[in-house]
Structure 1
Amino acid sequence: MGITVRPAQLSDVPEVARVLGIAFCDDPIVEWLIRDDATRGRRAAALFAAQARHHFVPLGGVEVACNAAGSIVGAALWAPPGRWHADDADSLRQLPQLVWAFRHRLIVAARLADRMMTAHPREPHWYLAVIGTLPGVRGQGYGQALLRSRLDRCDAYGVPAYLESSKPANVPYYERFGFDVTGTLDVTGGGPPLWPMWRPSR
């Protein structure tokens, strides 16, 4: 089985969004924000499409994992040091898709984003905002390949990395790559928590 990791182009955004929408259907935060099981995957895909197209791809922060046939089966959205927060122009461009994704919970989603921003480390770092693979390929090394691709560069340039895990079961997985939990973050006002994780460069 061949695993290829490559930078994503704007033309990849629809497929990146589709894959991540499927990958995050059972994510506790996404479930909390998008309550409808029937539409969650498509609406989450709209969220990821907006983020990828208007923030992460222009920053060179989107990588995709492809199988031997060249199909995208996983993706990671990274932001470089000092660029983890979308500016007002980027946010405005994302708004139509965010309205469709969150509907009447748009204000709730905005409040969640504000809480995450307040708690975000200010020290320069690469920020792993999103990583996911299709359920059918989990455990086959695609997530590991995506992580290693960017973390190797973090180490080469002496830059730390940061993420928030939305599943406690994923915490030990990230710990294998050198991330450490720095606390528990309540961004939902009593709903599902996040586990912030920091990785010093090696």
Structure 2
Amino acid sequence: MSRISRGNLEYELDRASNADLMQASALIAESMLENPFNEWLFPEVASRRDRTSSYYNLLLRHHYIPNGICEIIRHQSRVVGISVWHLPAKWKIPESTSSAILEEVRDLFDSNLFEVGRGIREIESKHPQFPHLYAGLTVVAPEMQGTGLGSILYGTLLTYADEHNLPIYLELTRERDQSWIKGLGFEVTGEIDIADGPTLWTCLRLPTPS
């Protein structure tokens, strides 16, 4: 764990554990409530927050924390930011994990399961064929966006990428985030138009020589 100051506020940057599941999944649900991609995942407004929280709790517990690099930022013991990234060839959920969580996933997506599965496969097919780090998720509490916490969360990933000479790949779910991600050295490389769903923007950052 490391302590970070921004203005007159103190934060803690730490690796996430299962003890953080409830706060982290609730934060993701709050931050993504009106995100176009999340609206496509869970079209029913009344249940969207609860389903989103349950879905990401599942992913955190079974994939993000055990198989990825999952970091959180705390402020006064509250989780206010989270990021998840994966090493090369580690980003895809293992088949054994998919089988273990299948029933819970079915319950969450209900009649939307086939459409979501088709869209996810389309997204996965766009991953680069060369070794790359994958930045799968970064969210900051809505009231703290624009304070630099997102850049803090990307810090470990960018450092690792440059030290190991690896590119970073990600998908943006909101067009307005392009200028911010370009400020971290990414280029927008293409679009993914999900059938009957939202548009995503693929982005790539090449390593920066030291």
Is TM > 0.5 for Structure 1 vs Structure 2? Answer: yes
Whole-Å separation in 1 of the counterparts to 2:55 and 2:136: 12
Question: Which has the larger Rg?
Answer: 2
1:38 CA drift (Å): 2.1
- Name which structure has the greater RCO, CA cutoff 8 Å, separation 6+: 1
Instruction: Render the CA deviation track for 1:172-192: whole Å, top value 9, x for unaligned.
Output: 111100111111111x21431
Secondary structure in 2 aligned to 1:182?
A: strand
Gaps of 5+ in 2: 1-8
In the TM superposition, structure 1's runs of 4+ consecutive aligned residues that sit over 4 Å from their partners are none
- 1:52 alignment counterpart: 60
CA distance in 1, matches of 2:68, 2:112: 30
Partner of 1:191: 197
Residue 23 (structure 1) aligns with: 31
Aligned with residue 106 of structure 2, among 99, 103, 122: 99
User: Which is strand-richer, 1 or 2?
Assistant: 2
Aligned pair partner of 1:163 in 166, 170, 174: 170
Give 1:41's aligned amino acid.
R
CA distance in 1, matches of 2:156, 2:11: 12
Q: Distance in 2 between matches of 1:137 and 1:99?
A: 33
Which letter maps to 1:90? Answer: T
TM-score, length-scaled by structure 1: 0.93
RMSD: 1.3
Cα deviation for residue 23 of structure 1 reads 0.8
CA distance in structure 2 between the partners assigned to 1:99 and 1:18 by the alignment: 20
**Unpaired segments ≥5 residues, structure 1:** none
Q: TM-score, normalised by structure 2?
A: 0.90
Find 2:80's aligned residue among 73, 76, 86.
73
Shift of 1:93: 2.5
Between the two proteins, the alignment pairs up a number of residues equal to: 200
In structure 1, the residue matched to 2:145 is: 138
Q: In percent, how many aligned pairs have the same letter?
A: 26
Query: For the residues of structure 1 that align with 2:144 and 2:103, how far apart are their CA atoms?
Result: 32
* Range 162-171 or range 87-96, more displaced: 87-96
